[in-house]
Amino acid sequence: MIDFDISQDVLGLGLIGAYFVIEGLLVKNSDPGVDAYLSGVVNDALKTLSDEAIDNDPVLEGFRELHRKAHVSERKNASASENLLRFVLKKGGISRINTAVDVYNAVSITSRLALGAHDLKNISGNVHLRLTTGKENFIPIGAPAPKQIASGEYAYVDDANDILCRLEVRQVEKTKVTAETKDCFYIVQGNAAVDAQYIKKTTDELIYLTKKFCGGREKILYAPWLD
């Protein structure tokens, strides 16, 4: 089991989130139940989704404000949830990855929060959400080589100084979830536009759906409603 902590510098930006582990997962490359559920979520979202709706969504605007406070370019660093919604709007659907990832993408579409999962066996030691020094190791998913990271951004970093997620924008090759993944570290991240109860509602939904389709047992590491 890992530990998780958040620096006061990051909390001071207005970031809010819940963090937990689910062990004993059975992740599949595909599942008819997950496909049906995700298709329903996408179809419901497309009924009201538009560029204007994305531009004016208060939760997505909260991520933009979070990036402004961290002095990060908004144009180049849209939140994972905003990128996901723009992909759905443009393509009319979403790429399937595997059951664990598909489930958290569905919950991200409905909540607008930034969700992620990381294969626990590939995390070195504990996870720290802190400001970067610029000396961290960062290899985004699909990248052939490490990328330079700026100082002063917030990131999820393990004890090997490897970034697991830069901002809530890019996850990494090291801890990506596959059909071989058994245990995951989960992120449910928001911003100053949402409160602890909204984070709790989203976390409860993500845990319920993940256990429904992938099994497992959860342990909360950090939750704002428990402070």
Query: Residue 141 is part of a domain; what is its CATH number?
Result: 3.50.40.10
92, burial (CB in 10 Å: exposed 0-12, middle 13-18, buried 19+): exposed
The pLDDT value given to residue 117: 98
| Helices and strands per DSSP (H, E), number in the chain | 7, 9
* Length reported for the chain: 227
Please tell me the predicted confidence (pLDDT) of residue 198.
98
pLDDT tens across 90-103, in order? 999 999 999 999 99
pLDDT tens-digit readout, 155-175: 999 999 999 999 999 999 999
pLDDT in tens, 18-59: 999 999 999 999 999 999 999 999 999 999 999 999 999 999
Query: Which pair of tokens denotes residue 180?
Result: 């071989």
User: Does residue 138 register a pLDDT over 90?
Assistant: yes
Q: For residue 191, what pLDDT is reported?
A: 98
Name the pLDDT band for 73 (thresholds 50, 70, 90).
confident
pLDDT score, position 197? 97
- What's the mean per-residue pLDDT of the chain? 96
Query: What is the pLDDT, as a whole number, of residue 75?
Result: 76
Residue 134 neighbours by CB distance under 10 Å: 10
227 pLDDT above the threshold of 90: no
Residue 70's pLDDT is what?
Answer: 94
Number of domains in the chain: 1
* Residue 201 scores a pLDDT above 80: yes
Over 90: is that where the pLDDT of 74 sits? no
The torsion angles phi and psi of 219, rounded to 5 degrees, stand at -140, 120
Residue 83 has pLDDT above 90, yes or no: yes
**Which residues in 12-96 belong to E strands, given as ranges?**
16-23
Domain containing 74 equals 4-226
Taking 90 as the threshold, does the pLDDT of residue 1 lie above it?
no
Phi, psi torsion values for 173, nearest 5 degrees: -65, -40
- Please state whether the predicted TM-score (pTM) of the whole model is above 0.85: yes
- Confirm if 144 and 21 have CB atoms less than 8 A apart: no
